[in-house]
């Protein structure tokens, strides 16, 4: 399976752990490149996190590309107006970040640097090179993908599939009552991509990702095996469990990665007409299920439930493994 991993980066519980899981199964997955987009972090900060992870996993040869540093329409000022009119937004990611770029865990910037080609150009060139073979794995806002398809509308139909973590079909959001963060940060991009003629679109929203958080006992079992990855995990996730031993940590993107490795981890899914709300209001950035299919007939495969023990088995097996070779 050939993948472009499109990410807004994050601490180890989320994007980075998902990428690490896929890198541990290079017998199944060929990661053609990592593209970084603004979301959880600014693009420069997110790139440093992901370059560090690639180095830790012995995947320095996997190229990384810098992408869109802002959403198509949404802005910090717009988010502030939304909060003022309709209530708190619990997390605003890069909108609240300063310009400084901090070294990742260990205090050292990775030796490998981003490629000079932009993320959007790389996406376009890669789909052209491997028509009908590339799976786009989007675990952040979809700004890079929307920009690529806006530049080259003909390419969406030549993608094998889009697998994305984001949205909420039948459950509340996690940054507003209506919206999940990845979609909220750039709703216009998500709406454009979901309306595109990609042959297969698979959604891992909060409906499924809320079902399998990580608890301290699982965390302790993983970090008891000392590897570069588990040291990173201890650094990023340990303080939360130290402060709150009864805490649960959501690992949204990791469920997406587990399905790419073993599709049987998902037990319930449904093809649904999904729409992103791009009207500026209290539901801005929310995803909703339409009563009828849209005019283009587009249905999204919405993942709804999983074999929790199977997921935990994959997660607990892959993350403590010694790193794979190149």
Q: In this predicted model, what pLDDT tens digit does every residue of 305-325 receive, in sequence order?
A: 999 999 999 999 999 887 654
Q: According to the model, what pLDDT value does residue 324 have?
A: 54
Q: In this predicted model, what pLDDT tens digit does every residue of 142-158 receive, in sequence order?
A: 999 999 999 999 999 99
Is the Cα torsion angle 316, 271, 159, 287 positive or negative in sign? negative
User: Cβ of 326: how many Cβ atoms within 10 Å?
Assistant: 9
Region 228-236: mean pLDDT is 90
The domain limits of the chain are 2-318
Q: According to the model, what pLDDT value does residue 321 have?
A: 83
Query: Where is 248: in which H helix or E strand?
Result: strand 248-249
304/312 Cα distance (integer angstroms): 17
Closest CA to 18 of 2, 7, 33, 27: 7
Does residue 26 carry a pLDDT above 80?
A: yes
Q: In this predicted model, what pLDDT tens digit does every residue of 73-90 receive, in sequence order?
A: 999 999 999 999 999 999
Q: According to the model, what pLDDT value does residue 323 have?
A: 62
288 exposed, middle or buried (CB, 10 Å; 0-12, 13-18, 19+)? Answer: middle
Q: Say if residues 47 and 66 touch (Cβ distance below 8 Å).
A: yes
Beta-bridge partner residues of 204: 165
Pair type for strands 287-289 and 274-276:
antiparallel
Q: Which CATH number fits domain 2-318: 1.10.1060.10, 3.30.360.10, 2.40.50.140, 3.90.245.10?
A: 3.90.245.10
């Amino acid at each position: 399976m050939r993948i472009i991993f499109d990410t807004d980066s994050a601490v180890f519980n989320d994007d980075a752990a998902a990428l690490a899981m896929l890198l541990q199964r290079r017998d199944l997955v060929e990661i053609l490149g990592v593209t970084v987009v603004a979301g959880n972090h600014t693009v420069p900060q997110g790139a440093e996190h992901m370059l560090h992870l690639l180095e830790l996993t012995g995947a320095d040869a996997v190229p990384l590309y810098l992408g869109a540093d802002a959403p198509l329409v949404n802005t910090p000022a717009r988010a502030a107006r939304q909060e003022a009119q309709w209530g708190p937004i619990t997390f605003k990611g890069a909108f609240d970040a300063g310009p400084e770029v901090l070294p990742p865990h260990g205090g050292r910037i990775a030796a490998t640097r981003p490629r000079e080609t932009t993320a959007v150009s790389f996406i376009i060139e890669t789909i052209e090179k491997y028509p009908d073979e590339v799976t786009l794995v989007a675990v952040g806002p979809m700004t890079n993908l929307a920009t690529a398809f806006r530049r080259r509308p003909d390419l969406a139909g030549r993608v094998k599939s889009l697998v994305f973590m984001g949205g909420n079909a039948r459950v509340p959001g996690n940054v507003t009552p209506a919206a999940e963060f990845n979609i909220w940060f750039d709703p216009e991009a998500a709406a454009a991509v979901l309306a595109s003629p990609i042959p297969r679109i698979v959604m891992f929203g909060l409906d499924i990702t809320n079902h399998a958080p990580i608890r301290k006992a699982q965390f302790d079992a993983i970090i008891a095996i000392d590897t570069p990855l588990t040291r990173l995990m201890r650094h990023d996730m340990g303080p939360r469990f130290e402060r709150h031993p009864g805490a649960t940590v959501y690992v949204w993107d990791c469920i997406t990665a587990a399905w790419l490795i073993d599709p049987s981890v998902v037990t319930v899914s449904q093809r649904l007409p999904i729409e992103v709300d791009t009207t500026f209001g209290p539901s801005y950035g929310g995803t909703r299920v339409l009563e009828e299919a849209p005019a283009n007939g587009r249905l999204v495969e919405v993942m709804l439930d999983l074999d929790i023990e199977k997921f935990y088995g994959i997660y607990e097996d892959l993350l403590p493994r010694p790193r794979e070779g190149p």
